[in-house]
């Protein structure tokens, strides 16, 4: 698996030349650019249709490279890096001298992550430097969890898409601001607040309103093109029938397979990890079903489901934009 891989060498060469490469991580696919190359980062923003001055995560091969990108590495940061890297955790740290404003969105902090996906690790070691990579979707849209999704988002405008299969976690990394003495959870993810507390001895705080800008924390995000409505579990059949009576085609995502209502439906996995793994792919499938609305069964309000509820809530808001 670690022997020479011509696709990886080609991808590293594209990055060195200032081009864009999509690659798998354990969370979602990323659209990568050389994090030291301003023009390459500008290309990333254009490809994604992302508003300027939003910060982007720098992916590195190993914690050893951290000092090239960040300074004032706090004890809490060290504990989290030791506990969860490589893995689905992004740390927001004070930026080191020379880290471009295009990466940090002009802030004095930088988001860093060591991914665990074998193909991401091979790419990072072949390239040698940091890879700036937002999720490989058009701004505000559903994140991609397969190479096919990335191709659907960008067509031929991305030179190379490395195919590493379906992403294991399926939702974006947990983001923790570790610039202060105690951690602040900027984006929930597979690594829960509880695990962060266990690793650091401190429960992470929730961000104050208006604190570090994060597009993934905008109310509208991760959205399919079809309007999405969250429906309380027991009311699904009734709501679907109502809409159907009005002549609307209805797509349903629910954790039960006994529903008869709706034009298209998916029975989602019943436990949180499986649900997250399939979540974005399921939204894409239902989005493509040509329905007037996607009804998604409301999920339990428990810590296990927190990261998924976060994405689902934003998808519902985002899908109602004109
Ligand atoms: O799992 C992930 O994190 C994926 C994979 C590809 O690594 N990446 C990802 O990137 O989700 P993106 O750009 O879609 O979301 C990154 C989030 C954004 O909300 C961004 O604002 C936030 O990270 N972020 C990056 N640097 C930051 C900083 N210095 N301060 C606060 N938030 C930051
Ligand atoms: Mg994203």
Atom of ligand 1 nearest to the CA of 59: 7
Answer yes or no: is 212 within a domain: no
pLDDT mean over 158-173:
97
Q: Could you tell me if residue 215 is inside a domain?
A: no
Asked whether residue 1 is assigned to any structural domain, the reply reads no
35 and 176 share a domain? yes
Smallest CA-to-CA distance from 91 within 102, 106, 51, 75 is with: 75
pTM: 0.94
Of 90, 113, 221, which is best to mutate to test ligand 1, by the most ligand atoms within 8 angstroms of its C-beta? 90
| Domain contains 93 | yes
Q: CA geometry: angle at 52 spanning 50 and 58, to 5°?
A: 80
How far apart are alpha carbons 56 and 95 in whole angstroms? 12
Any domain includes 142 = yes
Is 310's C-beta closer than 6 angstroms to any atom of ligand 1?
Answer: no
> Would you state the pLDDT for residue 99?
98
Do β-strands 21-23 and 89-95 pair in parallel, antiparallel, or remain unpaired?
A: unpaired
Q: Count of domains in the chain?
A: 2
Angstrom distance (rounded) from CA 122 to CA 127:
8
Report the distance separating Cα 220 and Cα 53, nearest Å. Answer: 18
Q: Would you state the pLDDT for residue 263? A: 81
Token representation of residue 297: 């069964």
Alpha carbon of residue 229 to chain centroid: 21
Which residue among 172, 310, 314 has the greatest number of ligand 1 atoms within 8 angstroms of its CB, and so is best to mutate?
Answer: 172
Q: Is residue 261 part of a domain?
A: yes
Residue 208: what pLDDT?
A: 63
pLDDT tens per residue, range 202-228: 999 987 655 555 555 566 788 899 999
- 90 Cβ inside 6 Å of ligand 1: yes
Examine the domain organization and report whether 184 and 101 are in the same domain.
yes
pLDDT for 46-103, tens place per residue? Answer: 999 988 788 999 999 999 999 999 999 999 999 999 999 999 999 999 999 999 999 9
Domain CATH for 138: 3.90.870.10
Domain residue limits at 185: 7-200
């Amino acid at each position: 698996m670690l022997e020479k891989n011509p696709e990886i060498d080609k991808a590293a060469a594209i990055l060195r030349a200032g081009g864009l490469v999509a690659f798998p991580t354990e969370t979602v696919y990323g659209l990568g650019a050389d994090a030291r190359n301003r023009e390459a980062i500008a290309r990333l923003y254009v490809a994604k249709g992302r508003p300027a001055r939003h910060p982007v995560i720098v992916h590195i091969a190993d914690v050893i490279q951290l000092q090239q990108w960040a300074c004032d590495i706090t004890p809490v940061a060290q504990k989290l890096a030791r506990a969860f890297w490589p893995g689905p955790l992004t740390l927001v740290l004070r930026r080191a001298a020379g880290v471009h404003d295009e990466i940090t969105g002009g802030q004095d902090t930088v988001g860093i992550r060591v991914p665990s996906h074998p193909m991401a690790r091979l790419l990072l070691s072949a390239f040698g430097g940091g890879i700036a990579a937002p999720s490989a979707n058009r701004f505000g849209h559903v994140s991609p969890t397969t190479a096919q999704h990335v191709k659907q988002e960008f067509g031929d405008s991305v030179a190379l898409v490395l195919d590493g299969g379906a992403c294991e976690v399926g939702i974006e990394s947990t983001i923790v601001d570790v610039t202060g003495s105690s951690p602040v959870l900027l984006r929930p993810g597979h690594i829960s607040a509880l695990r962060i507390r266990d690793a650091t001895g401190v429960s992470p705080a929730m961000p104050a309103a208006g604190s570090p800008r994060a597009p993934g924390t905008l109310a509208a995000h991760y959205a399919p093109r079809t309007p999405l409505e969250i429906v309380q579990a027991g009311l699904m059949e009734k709501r679907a029938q109502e809409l159907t009576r009005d002549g609307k085609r209805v797509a349903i995502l629910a954790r039960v397979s006994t529903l008869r209502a709706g034009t298209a439906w998916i029975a989602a996995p019943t436990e949180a990890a499986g649900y997250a793994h399939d979540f974005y792919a399921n939204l894409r499938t239902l989005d493509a079903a040509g329905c007037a609305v996607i009804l998604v069964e409301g999920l339990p309000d428990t810590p296990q489901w927190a990261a998924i509820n976060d994405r689902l809530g934003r998808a519902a808001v985002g899908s109602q934009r004109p």
